[in-house]
């Protein structure tokens, strides 16, 4: 597989458990920032009832498309280009919008667009599920997350571990309510928001 990510491989099974708990039967999922496609391939294989739509920035679509063509099951669709910097996503309505390890990589303004766009791309009772590390009441949950935040900001000062309270505020403003905040391995969280 091109651009294999060990981190994505490590967390795919526990994320699949969260999705299995929350997704309705025959669910449609829009993934924001599919990267190499490892999550899409695993979720498509593990959750056969799910129709999975991967997306990636247009500049990074080629590797994703190649990996999906080689390894993805039939319920994983060909990838769509999606640039968070552009207003409005030309996508249909989905039961769930899912994004892993994106919100701390992009700038805060693009992170807000991810949340708001995700809310707009879900129908009644739809879900927005975000995976990654977060701070709570201004505090890092572990020293390793603090170190990770410093490393992110040294690469790009606009990136960094986001505040749970900030994410929840943006989500609520977009018509979503927190349904679950599940602790995950390696000091990460899975935030499940539902359209109110």
Helix/strand/coil for 82: coil
For 35, which DSSP code? T
Here the tokens at position 174 are 């977009």
Residue 172's pLDDT is what?
Answer: 97
The pLDDT value given to residue 45 = 94
Scanning the structure block, which residue is given the tokens 């997350």? 145
The whole-angstrom separation of Cα 46 and Cα 106 is: 28
Q: What is the pLDDT of residue 161?
A: 97
Looking at the DSSP bridge assignments, the partners of residue 131 are 100, 190
User: How many whole angstroms separate alpha carbon 91 and alpha carbon 161?
Assistant: 28
Q: Which helix (H) or strand (E) holds 81?
A: strand 80-81
The per-residue pLDDT for 86 is 83
For each successive 10 residues of the chain (196 residues), what is the average pLDDT? Answer: 72 93 94 94 94 94 94 96 84 91 95 94 93 96 94 95 98 96 93 94
């Amino acid at each position: 597989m091109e651009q294999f990510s060990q981190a994505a491989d490590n967390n795919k099974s526990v994320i699949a458990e969260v999705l299995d708990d929350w997704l309705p039967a025959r669910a449609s999922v829009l993934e924001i920032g599919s990267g190499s496609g490892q999550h899409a391939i695993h979720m498509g294989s593990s959750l056969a009832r799910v129709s999975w739509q991967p997306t990636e920035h247009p500049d990074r679509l080629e590797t994703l498309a190649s990996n999906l063509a080689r390894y993805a099951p039939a319920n994983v669709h060909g990838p769509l280009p999606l640039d968070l910097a552009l207003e409005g996503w030309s996508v249909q309505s989905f039961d769930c919008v899912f994004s892993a390890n994106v919100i701390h990589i992009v700038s805060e303004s693009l992170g807000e667009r991810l949340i708001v766009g995700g809310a707009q791309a879900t129908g009644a009772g739809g879900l927005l599920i975000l995976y990654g590390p977060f701070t709570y009441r201004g505090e890092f949950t572990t020293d390793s997350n603090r170190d990770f935040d410093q490393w992110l900001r040294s690469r790009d000062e606009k990136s960094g571990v986001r505040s749970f309270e900030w994410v929840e505020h943006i989500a609520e403003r977009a018509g979503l309510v927190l349904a679950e905040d599940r602790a995950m391995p390696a000091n990460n969280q899975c935030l499940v928001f539902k359209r109110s």
